[in-house]
Structure 1
């Protein structure tokens, strides 16, 4: 609980003035609420005396009652505004911090946590934290203020009755303490189940095409129903405990009220207290019981909020896993890329994914990577782009250790096309121009909301062989491609991803099997576009390029080619040299050439 309070204090620090003023309004609210029963009792006592003076006194008390009623409306509203608004503010800042932190966490974190779990934390848990610091915070403070004020006024009215009614109320409080212990564990389990349920839903929606293609809708629905039923059962247990808490507290309050009427009535008849005091005490007790019954709702909000704070804190406390920045160098021109005995083993792996890779790529030159599936080609690209962190001193850029550079500086110098391209649910234009943050906002818009002409965009669209596809799209480059580019074919997504990399025009270009889903004719044109990069056709300086492919025709232009097998260099040399040796590369080249000839026939 201390860690929860420290976490909340860190976020609520700037809202302290609002909370303090809200606390003042809350005290004023409860003071007036306690004062009103006292006025009612005084009025009854005055009316018992009868006479003209009694009438005038009762009228004055009635006027005071009306004024206090209006005051309650004002101060109660202010107390809620002053507590709820900081809750919304904290929810906003917490959401921004979570999203910003997730942007900087590395691949191992996302291998441990599923998207649905993170989405649940960013939405459901931040909402629960908002309720904790807003609604629940208000109610907890209200209970902390109201109970002492009520007990003080009840004691002033009649100490004997106060002692009599405390017994059943205390029993209700003990029951709530027992409930809290069970409630926290169940709420924690329910939040974890909700995260898994969210992940199942997101996974099913994302793969809806695959589900339908294999006609497994019923099986997918059954798995969802099983998880949903498990979540439902736990939620019903939580609801049962919460629902039972209110009657228990209500019964304890009714028992206390019955005791007050029994004992208090006798005390009125014996002349120990007037009727007005009896009315005051009963009204105060009923108000106190109402406050205690609200504890059932507060318990739910606090339990869920505390669990959510722990889950949010776990994410925010996760270190980014990056080595310290020791070199503030920036990469402006195409660098010399050196790999020195690069070896890498995944944390959960037994065998090295790469072993003793050494090569030097001169500025503006191209390195080709060839190998069978599982040979370590994508791992190499991930290490160069620091999706995975390579061992120190194994990847050098112009002599600078890549692990010592600031990650943002390194990524800014690279244009990377991954093996599985990802497109956002936006226009094709925005996807290609992803490198620009709101790229044409500062340039202004033409009438009709059209962006200004971008020669660079036209150039890379042509280089990526997307011109014909763009003409066939309903709105050209302004066509929304759908979630993950679902409106485009696999080859179109790859070419759009390549166009994005070409648009960036960075000193380093990393291509991971980007032509695997295109036909041979398109491949030839794309290979020519990549060759043009070497001559600077699409930029002032040709980038230092690493291109991975299982097609030998894509690698023909490379200055050097590494043939990988089980993470080790099996062969190396130019295309002509490798073909002449008759090894794996030459055999694959011959086989692919025959397939191409057969396809042409």
Structure 2
């Protein structure tokens, strides 16, 4: 109940005027619904008493009956609009708040939760919340008005008959209420299983290429069928409960109707009740039973909504694991200095440190190369610099300030990160490169060709295409920059995806550039051109110019790192070698051995080519 109150205060409070007017319309609707059977009964009573005024009275009743019928149509329509439209707005606001909260969450949050669960909460649970404040709210208010109005009118018409017929209806209502209570646990389990099913679908779709390559379709389908059958079985249990709950009310209504015909008919014959009152009473009873039968669906919607609000609240109440901002007025300069002081880091539930005692000092605009075997801690270091993970206080300084004290938005606006497995959106190549909203300011009705002409004149875009060696690739794409790259960039090769991600980073003109093995999928010729382009960020403006970004490059290829101002070699999270390319070669360590091996491979490849 507390969750519902908090939810209503936060999201439904601003729509109180709409709900208030909707309640007025509901009251008018139910008053009219009760008034119409009364008029029908009066008409039958008049017809049973012939006289000179029968026609005039009948015409008056007919006009009033038509008026109330029109009022029912108008008021009922308005009541639904006034309840359903705010429900849509509430769904939108919940989804927006949830998405913003998810964007602020850090990597550990997503390591603890399945993507399928998050997708299910963001879609199915927000929809259930909409039904709670829209459909369910409307029906609860409708019953709250209709029940006393119906019972009062029935009591006034014949209180004896009311007592006779309400007993079975009350018994059916109590049974339905007790039955629907079991919905709560079943619905919670069904939504959890739907989240598991969604996660399986997303995982299967993302790995479809691997599945086909290993001929694993049958195993994937079997695992999907298992979870799907599990979910179906639970839904069938819920359906069976509904199937018994609604007929229970229906049966109680039939029993009540039979009682009305039996007891009421006897009272009419005995002269204790008019035939018109009998018609009024029967019509009201049928309306009341139909209303109570819909209550089973309403209680199910409420149960689903409460469970969904709990799941949404569980995510929204998960705190964002960010340290307090202590450098509120800090702005990064064009090329920040970077310093690591005895940086150490361990992953949760892993006693072995991923990084230990890393100390590095990087001048503004300089380039740091990071080299090491797989699992040495290179990507972990990049993730700490990018604030994907939070380093220890005082371990990473940027322009002399503690990085964790800088506001995250300020920090990320000034940096660009290219991971070793870049993510591309299922949109055009152009939009993937211009990711940070550097788009043409045009209206939604402007012609796409006009937009393309505007963007083709973007010299910055053309420059980064050349720097990322994408110009030649564009000629082979069906629509050039406007080619849709597919889900996660599936239409592009691995090297093209890496170069697109690099172009995206260069387009942002970052102050701090972090490159995590971004040239692993390109050939040596393209690698040389890309290295020259990255070097050109400094060289074109003079070495260590204030306008050049401070750059950190991770690579397992020594040819990529040979022009770095300093290279550190990581081994099991520790620095084992450091120096320039020439100094490391002279030292004859692991870096030098790898360089000789890679150089020999390059010469063999050139000879065979």
| TM-score range relative to shorter protein | over 0.9
Cα distance in structure 1, aligned partners of 2:267 and 2:217: 73
Corresponding position: 1:302 with 2:308: no
Contact 1:106–1:387 under 8 Å retained in 2: yes
Deviation, 1:448, is 4.3
1:466 counterpart (458, 467, 470): 470
Q: Secondary structure at the match of 2:182?
A: helix
Cα distance in structure 1, aligned partners of 2:162 and 2:447: 74
Cα distance in structure 1, aligned partners of 2:220 and 2:340: 46
1:544 counterpart (536, 545, 550): 550
Q: 1:343-373: CA deviations, max 9, x gaps? A: 1111232211111111100111111111111
- Aligned partner of 2:422 in structure 1 is 421
Contact 1:445–1:451 under 8 Å retained in 2: no
- Aligned partner of 2:508 in structure 1 is 504
- Aligned partner of 1:494 in structure 2 is 498
Map residues 557-572 of structure 1 onto 2, 5 A cutoff.
557-572=563-578
Deviation, 1:132, is 1.4
- Aligned partner of 1:239 in structure 2 is 239
- Aligned partner of 1:586 in structure 2 is 592
Which runs of 5 or more residues in structure 1 are unaligned?
none
1:526 counterpart (517, 530, 533): 530
Map residues 347-386 of structure 1 onto 2, 5 A cutoff.
347-386=348-387
- Aligned partner of 1:254 in structure 2 is 254
Cα distance in structure 1, aligned partners of 2:469 and 2:68: 77
Cα distance in structure 2, aligned partners of 1:471 and 1:585: 38
1:404–1:242: structure 2 CA closer, same or farther, 3 Å change rule? same
Deviation, 1:306, is 1.5
Corresponding position: 1:476 with 2:480: yes
Cα distance in structure 1, aligned partners of 2:323 and 2:113: 22
Contact 1:440–1:451 under 8 Å retained in 2: no
Cα distance in structure 2, aligned partners of 1:540 and 1:312: 47
Q: Secondary structure at the match of 1:403?
A: helix
Deviation, 1:270, is 2.4
Deviation, 1:435, is 2.8
Structure 1 stretch 159-168 or stretch 53-62: which is displaced more? Answer: 53-62
Q: Secondary structure at the match of 1:103?
A: helix
- Aligned partner of 2:58 in structure 1 is 58
Cα distance in structure 2, aligned partners of 1:520 and 1:278: 94
Cα distance in structure 1, aligned partners of 2:219 and 2:449: 51
Map residues 142-153 of structure 1 onto 2, 5 A cutoff.
142-153=142-153
Q: 1:13-45: CA deviations, max 9, x gaps? A: 111111100000000100011111111222222
Corresponding position: 1:576 with 2:582: yes
Cα distance in structure 2, aligned partners of 1:248 and 1:216: 48
Deviation, 1:9, is 2.9
Q: 1:405-425: CA deviations, max 9, x gaps? A: 110000011111111111112
Q: Secondary structure at the match of 2:193?
A: helix
Cα distance in structure 2, aligned partners of 1:457 and 1:53: 88
Cα distance in structure 1, aligned partners of 2:464 and 2:91: 42
1:446–1:73: structure 2 CA closer, same or farther, 3 Å change rule? closer
Corresponding position: 1:331 with 2:332: yes
Deviation, 1:537, is 5.0
Cα distance in structure 1, aligned partners of 2:393 and 2:467: 37
Cα distance in structure 1, aligned partners of 2:596 and 2:159: 102
Q: 1:504-532: CA deviations, max 9, x gaps? A: 11111111011111111111111111221
Contact 2:334–2:546 under 8 Å retained in 1: no
Cα distance in structure 2, aligned partners of 1:23 and 1:33: 15
Which runs of 5 or more residues in structure 2 are unaligned?
none
Deviation, 1:540, is 6.8
Cα distance in structure 2, aligned partners of 1:400 and 1:546: 18
Cα distance in structure 1, aligned partners of 2:483 and 2:269: 86
Deviation, 1:439, is 4.5
Q: 1:321-341: CA deviations, max 9, x gaps? A: 111111120002211101011
Deviation, 1:487, is 1.1
Deviation, 1:192, is 1.2
Corresponding position: 1:263 with 2:269: no
Q: TM-score, normalised by structure 2?
A: 0.95
Q: What is the total number of aligned residue pairs between the two structures?
A: 600
Contact 2:176–2:248 under 8 Å retained in 1: no
2:453 counterpart (451, 454, 460): 451
Contact 1:47–1:55 under 8 Å retained in 2: no
Q: Secondary structure at the match of 1:451?
A: helix
1:44–1:441: structure 2 CA closer, same or farther, 3 Å change rule? closer
Structure 1 stretch 510-519 or stretch 451-460: which is displaced more? Answer: 451-460
Q: Secondary structure at the match of 2:460?
A: helix
- Aligned partner of 2:6 in structure 1 is 6
- Aligned partner of 2:292 in structure 1 is 292
Q: TM-score, normalised by structure 1?
A: 0.97
- Aligned partner of 1:407 in structure 2 is 408
Deviation, 1:440, is 5.5
- Aligned partner of 1:199 in structure 2 is 199
Superposition CA RMSD, Å = 1.7
1:69–1:255: structure 2 CA closer, same or farther, 3 Å change rule? same
